[in-house]
Amino acid sequence: MTECYFENLENIVISQLKRTQKSIKAAIAWINFELYGNVFEELLDRGVKIKIMLNDDGINRRYIKAIQYLNTKGADIRLVRFAGIMHHKFCIIDKKICMFGSFNWTEPANIRNIEDLNICDDYNVVANYLLEFKAIWNLSKDDIKLLTKPINCKNCGAPIINILLMQSEGDYQTKIEVLQQCGCSQKIVYTDYYDASVYNNYLRTIQQFDEDIIAVQHSGDEISYHQLIAQQDFVVANYLSLVRHNRMGMPIIHAVGVKTWKWFDKHEGEYIYRIIWKERGTSTYIRDEYEIF
């Protein structure tokens, strides 16, 4: 359910923050730490884990001493700089609810501007905000540039992308390859072998939901079915996003895929590369599947 608010927004945000039990993950363009700093300090004293991203500019740097103080108490508050403004205004509380909207946590936004604030506990919405937070928390300014402005092939003009492919290799190994793909060519630019758990863990993230998904399909409970699918998608995406840390020597990994069989009809088919995860900012130019040249 999503509740929408247009008045008394500052008090609503502070009230929600004070109810936090375990964690806050927030990306807010601008925060007035003269007001919210005391709230964060109270939460830290209660053992709440706090991660916050702010836009790196003079407005937020006015509060650098307050930010540094909160960080010494256990918070992780970062000023981040990308090609444009980090303009998000969302806060995930206890991984259960998300506050989002136009409202910055500042005095002008509270007393002068016309703003909106939404509070949502829908799992799919919260999960998507968690993935977005993790992406911009882990990706650098240069990473974002590589993803949003990929290099184009001089021959065909299509973006050149790096797809990490994984498959089981016997009982004990996972074969990892990086396929460099554009519109006119494919080539393997990296091959190595890892422990079988790399691929098996991917399968387990899918299989752990299979029985429950089948059960709710039989029951006809559409709400529970869509919630389970959302949970499965989040767990899989969260696991595959580990490629942000190990890029196999590549400047960036754009996507993760598997080689799988695609049926055309009952009798004919072919192997293709199916994309199972796309990095942030790539959905406009990475397809869901690719032919094997």
**pLDDT 10s digits, 94-119:** 999 999 999 999 888 888 888 999 99
Q: What is the pLDDT of residue 209?
A: 84
Encode 41-67: b = buried (16+ Cβ within 10 Å), e = exposed: bebbeeebebbbbbbbeeebeebeebb
Of the candidates 228, 230, 234, 235, the one whose C-alpha atom is nearest the C-alpha of residue 213 is 228
Pairwise CA distance, residues 252 & 180, whole Å = 11
Active site residue ranges: 87, 89, 94
Per-residue pLDDT tens digits for 159-212: 999 999 999 988 889 999 999 999 999 999 999 999 999 889 988 988 888 888
Distance of CA 261 to the CA centre of its chain: 28
Give every CB contact of residue 284 below 8 A, 6+ residues apart in sequence.
none
| Residues 2-138, CATH architecture | 2-Layer Sandwich (3.30)
Spatial CA neighbour of 189 closest among 158, 165, 156:
165
Q: Domain map of the chain by residue range? A: 2-138, 149-291
Give the per-residue pLDDT at 111: 84
- Averaged pLDDT, groups of 10, the chain, 293 residues long: 93 96 97 95 97 95 96 96 90 97 90 92 93 93 91 94 93 93 93 91 87 83 82 90 90 94 86 94 94 89
Question: Considering the entire predicted model, what is its pTM?
Answer: 0.87
